[in-house]
Structure 1
């Protein structure tokens, strides 16, 4: 059986860090946190069994293995970029294109979308799942809903609230915080330790890690533990009883979801008004 390849995201983090010789600069370029880039590079090093960077107080230095890998990764990413340019990802006429994170699409928009489509019969809607900043760029969407910090998402974007992190569990999971598995999302600035300080609960250590708030919620729904996740994403699951609060405490999220309208028009404005009313008008 052929050995599986490491995730593309690990290679992108490595290539950006190698060009900048900085995890911080790489994070700013590809729209992730410095911690997420560092973790992805470390995961790639572990997978390959080599050290790619020498970590120094004032930056990074490529090792011999890192120098050997960089041109191959750079060439592969360039070929992928050229290949995707042959496809038209623009918005067809009379189709409203909305690009958003997978978590936002699954947990916020999908459960409520019938209300919007019923209000606008005849409108064709295209939803694109996007992860990287250049995914949004290539999509040329009429509306974007991005995840990140205010600096990462750019000017003119409107924060969707509430931007709070809360503890969530399945109604069937009765184990207390001290005994349940704690689910944490990697690549975000706040986690269980910060939440524990606010709640006055010491010694909280996550044991189950997810790559997005949406995946953390999915794990919690199936009784795998208590997730610390976005209240904005969890609202519908709370309303329908799929999840319940495991504790009343909350902390503010340093990253969140931001909406921007790129192509002002009647359909785009209608979607903006609808989603803001659904999330922030209650």
Structure 2
């Protein structure tokens, strides 16, 4: 069985007292009372079974055992200080955790992120992807961008982008709309059937099913058919001429993307203002 080490505070008290040759000075340095430093050093001496200091009227003097121990404690504390310094440097930056729908990360955040990092070079951004509402409860994020109904999003959330679903296809995909294959994102109450009703057209079944709007858009870009997605997801691919409207009709969605700030830090507010400015807010 491995030996149980004395508490780190005992070593800190010993090192400070040995360097200052005073329990009082050591106490002021490490933020403890003089009696606490004295007691911790005494506890260390009892654990080691040796005296580390000669207590004199004019102060302290190291014993031979104390002189033997001090360099090793100095080295150990320096190693711990160095090991934690890197983390302290990281904390000097402004960390920001954003939990968002994977579709938003892929099609809204990623294409524009260089603009945000250029404006806020000190922000260390951590992106956590989620698809379904329950996945957001598993992370403690500063900013959340959820997909769902207004009720699911909560009263503190704001609509990100628009609530319009549009039909899109690759410019390379030729043919009349009525004969092009349809791509549908499952798990929502919206789809091609209500879109066809709104457009005054006959409904037809989709030929390809995916789990969310992000992959539906990706499939359409690669010429696999026509996708029905929120129009703000397609801003960047449309600017790159990867996708184009397949039909002029649109559908007001029941489920949308909603943004909420969970911790109103400067970085979180800056991220909110940036992304809302990029895609607009309802």
Same fold (TM over 0.5): yes
Task: Specify which structure has the higher proportion of helix.
Answer: 2
Over residues 38-82 of structure 1, what are the superposed CA-to-partner deviations in whole Å (9 max), with x where a residue is unaligned?
A: xxxxxxxxxxxxxxxxxxxxxxxxxxxxxxxxxxxxxxxxxxxxx
Over residues 250-278 of structure 1, what are the superposed CA-to-partner deviations in whole Å (9 max), with x where a residue is unaligned?
A: 01010000000000011000000001100
SS at match of 1:216: helix
Q: CA distance change for structure 1 residues 172 and 109 in 2, over 3 Å: closer, same or farther?
A: same
Q: Distance in 2 between matches of 1:227 and 1:132?
A: 20
1:209 maps onto 2:186 in alignment: no
Contact 1:142/1:261, CA 8 A, preserved across alignment: yes
Deviating runs (4+, > 3 A) in structure 1?
Answer: none
Contact 2:133/2:147, CA 8 A, preserved across alignment: no
Q: How does 1:98-117 map to 2 (within 5 A)?
A: 98-117=98-117
Q: Distance in 1 between matches of 2:208 and 2:228?
A: 11
- Partner residue in 2 for 1:176: 176
Q: How does 1:216-231 map to 2 (within 5 A)?
A: 216-231=216-231
- Partner residue in 2 for 1:242: 242
Name the count of aligned residue pairs: 190
SS at match of 1:193: helix
Unaligned runs of 5+ in 1: 1-91
Q: Distance in 2 between matches of 1:138 and 1:189?
A: 25
Q: Distance in 2 between matches of 1:132 and 1:185?
A: 13
Contact 1:172/1:223, CA 8 A, preserved across alignment: yes
Q: Distance in 2 between matches of 1:133 and 1:221?
A: 27
Over residues 181-220 of structure 1, what are the superposed CA-to-partner deviations in whole Å (9 max), with x where a residue is unaligned?
A: 1111111111112111222221322111111000100110
Q: How does 1:64-103 map to 2 (within 5 A)?
A: 93=91, 94-103=94-103
User: Aligned Cα RMSD in Å?
Assistant: 1.4
SS at match of 2:268: helix
- Partner residue in 2 for 1:128: 128
- TM-score (structure 1 length as normaliser): 0.65
Unaligned runs of 5+ in 2: 1-89
1:251 maps onto 2:257 in alignment: no
SS at match of 1:197: helix
- TM-score (structure 2 length as normaliser): 0.65
Q: Distance in 1 between matches of 2:133 and 2:171?
A: 36
SS at match of 1:110: helix
Q: Distance in 2 between matches of 1:142 and 1:272?
A: 10
